[in-house]
């Protein structure tokens, strides 16, 4: 009986942490397929085939007097820098779609993606 309770508790923790992890990735490149396409954490309830998206990079810089600050610490300012656009070419499931970025858009895993 204790083994069953342990298995059930482990499964519950795994289910809860996977959902939380996916929510943190929402709207980002999860996997770079090649130089122009990526799997993006935007699913069928958020985008449809043909929708345009915009890719951004989070650019963070220390403010005056905080040159030695750790990224994300006090005195650091961040802004989204637009990289370019792309088009949703397929829906993979509830959570992911495939995006083909426009020629010349340089992206990587973790790049922020928003519906245009």
pTM: 0.70
Q: What is the predicted pLDDT for the residue at 75? A: 73
Q: What is the predicted pLDDT for the residue at 45? A: 87
Residues 113 and 99 sit within 8 Å (Cβ to Cβ): yes
Whether 11 is in a domain gets the answer no
Whether 15 is in a domain gets the answer no
Whether 22 is in a domain gets the answer no
Q: What is the predicted pLDDT for the residue at 36? A: 97
Q: What is the CATH number of the domain that holds 85?
A: 2.40.10.410
Q: What is the predicted pLDDT for the residue at 60? A: 84
Q: What is the predicted pLDDT for the residue at 46? A: 92
Domain housing 82 = 27-115
Q: What is the predicted pLDDT for the residue at 7? A: 46
Sites in the chain below the pLDDT cut of 70: 1-25, 64-74
Q: Is 64 exposed, middle or buried (0-12, 13-18, 19+ CB in 10 A)?
A: exposed
């Amino acid at each position: 009986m204790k083994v069953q309770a342990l298995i059930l508790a482990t499964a519950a923790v795994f289910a809860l942490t996977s959902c939380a992890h996916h929510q943190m990735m929402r709207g980002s490149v999860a996997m770079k397929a090649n130089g122009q396409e990526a799997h993006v954490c935007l699913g069928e309830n958020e985008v449809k085939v043909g929708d345009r998206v915009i890719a951004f990079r989070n650019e963070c810089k220390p403010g005056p007097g905080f040159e030695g600050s750790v990224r994300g610490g006090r005195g650091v300012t961040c802004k989204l820098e637009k990289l370019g656009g792309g088009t949703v070419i397929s829906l993979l499931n509830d959570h992911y779609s495939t995006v083909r970025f426009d020629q010349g858009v340089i992206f990587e895993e973790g790049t922020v993606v928003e519906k245009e």
